[in-house]
Chains A and B, each alone.
Chain A
Amino acid sequence: MSKKKKEKPSRILFLAADVVILILITYVCLVPIWHMVMASISDPTALNVHTGMVYYPLKKVDVQAYRIIFRYKQLWSAYLNTIFYIIGSCLLTGVLTTIAGYVFSRKRFYYRNAFMMFISFTMLFNGGMIPNYLVMRGLHLTDNPLVMIIPGSLSVFNIIIMRTSMQNVPQELEEAARMDGASDLKILWDVILPLCKATFAVIMLFTVVAKWNDYFSALLYLPTRQDLYPLQMALRQILITSTSDISSSASSLIDNSSIYKKSIEYASIVVSTLPILCVYPFVQKYFVTGITMGAVKS
């Protein structure tokens, strides 16, 4: 960090301290993830007695844990379930948020403020865990894969940023299309939506992250259907509650599978986290847009 101008010593000291702090922060953010990867390919007996961070594969590289993981069907079916839930949620969120944004951004919709207040109230107050559960059960959504898709797919927050973005589409475009005889849906699809692509992408992105993270709704609404579990629930069984039967599936592959318990945990973290971490730098700029968009809403 060479400076062209002469800086005061206090400034140089500050900048040095700044750089050191930032490098430390980077280290703290990075090293746990690095530790997971290295531990997952370490020799299991060495790993079991090791204390502290793992910076390089202990003793020798051992990928047996990955072999066990790849044979553990529940994890992969949970992976597929999550992908299915994500696609379903994106479709539903996309459709519902678009039409809600359209309705509430139309100036000719006379009652839009009253209805907006009606739906905004849900941001302020909610029924709570058990009343929600009772409604889901009443709708036969519990132990039903749709429960991972339908509830929560339409949020007031998303409607607001979609509405704001659609309000910015010039009125003249809509009027011109209407003169050509286009219907509401055609205007929405052909004129307005293409101009709100960025907002749409941001909403999709936040939906993906939320669904990827979600384990709690499965905990509440899928009490007996483990086959419908999303990835995070399968991971919870492996990492937190130790209720997965991965060791029994591992024992078919090797004799002393119990020594692999730790390695398996790390390997499952790696296979479930690394793909996302590899993709996210490419969509990073959309997050930045999305967050700033959310902050300047209303």
Chain B
Amino acid sequence: MKKRQKPVGSAAGERLGYQVGGGIRMLPHNFCLDVRRNKILYFLLLIVLAYFVIFNYLPMFGIIVAFEKYSPVKGVFGSKWVGMDNFISFFSGPYAGRLIRNTVVLGVFDLLVNFPTPIIFALLLNEIKNKYFKKTVQTVSYMPYFVSTVVAAGMVIGFTKAGGAISEAMKFMTGGVSENLLNQTAWFRPIYILMGTWQGMGYGSIIYLAALSDVDQELYDAAKVDGAGYWKQMWHITLPGISSMIIMMFIMRMGTVFSVGADKILLLYNASTYEVSDVINTYVYRLGMQNADFGMSTAVGLFNSVIGTILLLTSNQVLKKLSGTSMF
């Protein structure tokens, strides 16, 4: 909790008999009095809290379904308690290894490819001094972000079908036949990652371009006087100027590496590529929403949430250590 407020209030507040710092001076804080003094404030707070309790905390109680053999007739509180059975059958089942592997592989590759590309793009753009060219490239590069996921996936499916532009290009390069690439296990991952690159590179560069424009221009002039070349300038001025931003963004993305979402994959995958494309979240969806196996689905989802939380907390701690800022 917070330290007690120092006994200084603003003059105006005091004259009105209302305490800016909260609480009565020199007395321990009194909750009831505080509520009475700030009725509207607490009423507004109640609305906000009610929202979070209903839509965020209530589902957390639903997690008990993970420890039940859920029956729709008996409901959440009437179903049979089975303890860790759902977890045991998931981890001893045939899919656990594959799902965890696919989730980690997609998450890590997404990070490795789609984290640096916006930075490189921003650096390349930063070297351009012609304002109009720069502005045009920027505007066009943000465009794919505004193509919705469904439409982008539809476009990807079209391009990677037999006869589609990407399939044709592959046929040309490898000398094979033009075929549906999304039906092949070797192609699913690159296509998924590159779709992310296409959609996110320009948009992701915004933040680095902003950081780059904050780098003190006088440093460059001073470096030039000292005879530093362009590479030296980039290494000693540009990169240090945005390194804290890069580190912060990297750690924040590390925290979400395990939360590969279902929405994009559900649009791209099909049964023939489950071997590489099925991740925990898509499995949770199929199990819960299509097979109505609520108990097992919740258990698998809970496993995913817990790992996600641990990763987020870890990355947050690292961030705190390194930069003194934190997300929470």
Task: Determine if B59 and A128 form an interchain contact, defined as CB atoms under 8 angstroms apart.
Answer: yes
Give the docked Cα–Cα distance between A192 and B266 (Å).
43
Q: Which residues of B contact A113 (CB under 8 A)?
A: 1-2
Residues facing B in A14-51 (CB within 8 A) are 14-15, 18-19, 21-23, 25-26, 28-30, 32-33, 35-36, 50-51
Q: How many residues of A contact B (CB 8 A)?
A: 98
Q: Which of B141, B146, B155, B168 has the most CB of A within 10 A?
A: B146
* Nearest Cβ on chain B to A150's Cβ, whole angstroms: 8
Task: Determine if B48 and A119 form an interchain contact, defined as CB atoms under 8 angstroms apart.
Answer: yes
Report if A168 contacts B (CB, 8 A).
no
Task: Determine if A235 and B41 form an interchain contact, defined as CB atoms under 8 angstroms apart.
Answer: no
Report if A134 contacts B (CB, 8 A).
yes
A130-B154 contact, Cβ under 8 Å, with A215-B149, A291-B207: no
Q: Name the one of A19, A106, A130, A172 contacting B62, with C-beta atoms under 8 angstroms.
A: A130
Report if A240 contacts B (CB, 8 A).
yes
Q: How many residues of B contact A (CB 8 A)?
A: 108
* Nearest Cβ on chain A to B228's Cβ, whole angstroms: 13
Residues facing B in A116-141 (CB within 8 A) are 118-120, 122-135, 139
Give the docked Cα–Cα distance between A110 and B24 (Å).
11
A215-B10 contact, Cβ under 8 Å, with A127-B60, A130-B65, A130-B298: no
Q: Which residues of A contact B158 (CB under 8 A)?
A: 265
Task: Determine if A26 and B140 form an interchain contact, defined as CB atoms under 8 angstroms apart.
Answer: yes
Q: Which residues of A contact B130 (CB under 8 A)?
A: 1
Q: Which residues of A contact B150 (CB under 8 A)?
A: 215, 232, 235-236, 239-240
Give the docked Cα–Cα distance between A130 and B304 (Å).
13
Q: Name the one of A29, A102, A235 contacting B140, with C-beta atoms under 8 angstroms.
A: A29
Q: Name the one of B129, B137, B305 contacting A25, with C-beta atoms under 8 angstroms.
A: B137
- Output the nearest chain A residue to B162 by Cβ-Cβ distance: A51
Task: Determine if A131 and B198 form an interchain contact, defined as CB atoms under 8 angstroms apart.
Answer: no
Task: Determine if B301 and A96 form an interchain contact, defined as CB atoms under 8 angstroms apart.
Answer: no
- Output the nearest chain B residue to A181 by Cβ-Cβ distance: B16
- Output the nearest chain A residue to B142 by Cβ-Cβ distance: A284
Q: Name the one of A22, A185, A239, A265 contacting B124, with C-beta atoms under 8 angstroms.
A: A22
Task: Determine if B10 and A277 form an interchain contact, defined as CB atoms under 8 angstroms apart.
Answer: no
- Output the nearest chain B residue to A279 by Cβ-Cβ distance: B146
Q: Which residues of B contact A172 (CB under 8 A)?
A: 12
A110-B288 contact, Cβ under 8 Å, with A122-B57, A125-B309, A127-B63: no
* Partner-A contacts on B (CB < 8 A): 1-2, 5, 10, 12-13, 16, 18-23, 29, 31, 34, 38, 40-41, 44-45, 47-49, 51-52, 54-63, 65, 76, 121, 124-125, 127-130, 133, 136-137, 139-144, 146-151, 153-155, 157-159, 163-165, 168-169, 178, 198, 201-203, 206-207, 210, 229-230, 245, 248-249, 262-263, 266-267, 281, 284-285, 288-289, 294, 297-298, 301-302, 304-305, 308-309, 312-313, 325-328
* Partner-B contacts on A (CB < 8 A): 1, 8, 11, 14-15, 18-19, 21-23, 25-26, 28-30, 32-33, 35-36, 50-53, 96, 99-100, 102-103, 106-111, 113-115, 118-120, 122-135, 139, 150-152, 154, 159, 171-172, 175-176, 178-179, 183-185, 209, 212-213, 215-216, 219-220, 223, 232, 235-236, 238-240, 265, 269, 272-273, 276-277, 280-281, 284, 287-288, 291-292, 295, 298
